[in-house]
Amino acid sequence: MTSPLKRPLLLSAFLGLAGCATTVDGPAQAIPGPPALNDSNVFCEASRTELVIPVGEAFAEGTLVRDFYTGNTARVRDGQVTMTPDDNAEGLLLLEPVDETAHAFTWAGATVYFAVTDRFANGRTDNDINYGRQKDGKDEIGTFHGGDFAGLTQKLDYLADLGVDALWITPPFEQMHGWVGGGDRGDFRHYGYHGYYALDFTVPDANFGTREEFRTLVQQAHQRGIRVVMDVVMNHPGYSSLQDMQTFDFGALHSGFEKHLPEHWGDWRPESWENHHAYHALIDYDHADWRNWWGKDWVRAGIADYDTPHSASVDPVRGSLAFLPDFKTESTKPVKLPVFLRNKESSRAEHLDNATVREYLITWLTDWVREFGVDGFRVDTAKHVEPDAWRELKARAQEALDDYRERHPDAALPSEEFWMVAEVFPHSVRKTSYFDAGFDAVINFDLQAEAKAGARCLQAMEPIYREYADKLHGDDPFNVLSYISSHDTKLFAQIAGDDNTLKKRAAAALLFTPGAVQLFYGDESGRAFGPTGSDPHQGTRSAMNWQAIEAGEVSDILNHWRTLGQFRQRHPAIGAGEHKLISQQPYVFSRQHGDDTVVIAFGSRN
């Protein structure tokens, strides 16, 4: 990868080309670099006038091409076409042959939509409160908002209109029933609304919906050609909480401290001088009854007779993340089903003969594939579990998908090969050992910063696009999943501030990126950062802005994302193809993958 320190040095050479028609015939290394990524003064005003677009060798002489944005056509003469961008296209022309045929899907060019189930769409209000959970009556930073499988199902046509190939949903498992203190200051109640605090991996959380509603979601998605990628966690379960201690009879309070708690322990409130972390002082973490929780053979938790883990920063595989219990996935010791799961009537967990922790977890996770036909896993905290576990998970998941396909021969099933993508912070566009551990792709954390300049002036993406395409589709191909917004970093809307033009233009910077790309729910509609308390990530998970969408307040942004998303879906070459720069002003490049070829042009007036 080009050093970030070198890129800004190319700024003056790049900007010197503005306003002149420059076709690139020379080698790739002669292409100028982008503006400095943090230069807020670099902004290209989009052209709305007629443009002469060279098409290089992408389209043969005489080919009739269409601008997907407007539907207007032109014939290639002397290696170029003359067309005018739509007034709403931000200077873009999306050129494809008029006699275009359908092109086969490939994950190398996929568009993945990531929705935090609880925050996306509330399809049923009667399941909003379960297990004694409560709203906080304030900012609702870490409470359940009501989003569910039914809501996701109702919005599948919305996703199809965006050109989405796959829907990535947060873990659907039953979460810890209670809450823990949120943020460094314990200034809010933090429930497992996001799905990463699992209590029981074998059943869906009642707030998200029922098994049949999950089945309907997957089936309806498949009927629209949308794959379902399920977020999974093998590194840790959820925390313990007062509410779960009382419900499932594990752990213990210090003797006599029950008097400091209400009848329902989960209703506890801190005094005016306390915060939401203060309840820990009531709990006897050395009590023998912690054996009724996961048990020392299952997790490292540093309580009672459990092993005490190092921090994950010291031991990435056997350490603890954010004080969460760490599953002993590396252990070869057979374990019994945890006591609380044995006694939990609603659990589908069963005893497995001579099974290790890893074997239990893999069985539980792949059962969702075997029963519902899930197409892929997004794997949370991949670097904190040994690679052999991921290889085994991938193999078992493929077996489960094959089994599902065999049992449902007439169903709409878009996937034959199970897909797995790893979250490895802060991975970039490079092929690493994770691809030998069963992963088909790794999340790329670099694009978020790089796309800011591209939203201001698409030409800034040229060296990035070239670098990504050369690496991903070279002699040793691999794939990454790139994003501009994330639940664990920031929203692009935060980067853009109040500038709706940047929120709109970010579509091109992201959707023209080589490899697979991820939309975070609301990227396409300018969803705003929400209340966050002392945890800066909570605000990235604000409620989807359906009211603004339905009122037409963000139609200009949304319609632009839809058009570009549909164009990308029609042409896997955009993500999977060879990238060639044709012209620098106007900025024109082609992508080609097999018989699929497109030319994308961006005209600016400066």
What is the per-residue DSSP string for 176-199?
Answer: PSS-EEETTTT-EEE-STTS-SEE
589 bridge partner residues:
581, 600
The parts of the chain modelled with pLDDT lower than 50 are 1-38, 40
CA 260 – CA 283 distance, rounded (Å):
11
Nearest residue to 35 via CA among 457, 507, 605: 457
Give the span between the Cα atoms of 373 and 64, in whole angstroms.
Answer: 42
Distance CA 518, CA 170 (A): 14
**pLDDT for the residue numbered 17:** 27
DSSP summary character for residue 291? G
Residue position matching structure tokens 């497992």: 192
Q: Give the three-state DSSP class for 352.
A: coil
Closest CA to 236 of 380, 363, 132, 365: 380
Rounded CA gap, 507 and 465, in Å? 14
Q: Are the CB atoms for 142 and 538 separated by under 8 Å?
A: yes
Nearest to 294 by CA among 266, 254, 331: 331
- Outline where 284-415 has alpha helix (H): 339-342, 357-372, 387-407
* pLDDT score of 196: 98
d(CA 605, CA 91): 9
**pLDDT for position 267:** 96
CA–CA separation, 98 and 95 (whole Å)? 9
Q: Give the pLDDT confidence of 503-523 residue by residue, as tens digits.
A: 999 999 999 999 999 999 999
Structure tokens at 579: 């990238």
Number of H helices, E strands in the chain: 16, 23
First vs last Cα of the chain: how many Å apart?
29
Distances (CA, A) of 588 to 104, 471, 579: 25, 21, 11
Tell me, what amino acid is at 7? R
Q: Residue 11's pLDDT is what?
A: 26
Instruction: Tell me: cis bond preceding 586? Omega within 30 of 0 counts.
Output: yes
Residue with tokens 């400095």: 36
Active-site residue list: 380, 423
**What string of DSSP letters covers 208-264?**
T--HHHHHHHHHHHHHTT-EEEEEE--S--PPP-HHHHHHHT-S-BPTTGGGGS-SS
**pLDDT at res. 8:** 26
pLDDT for 464 equals 98
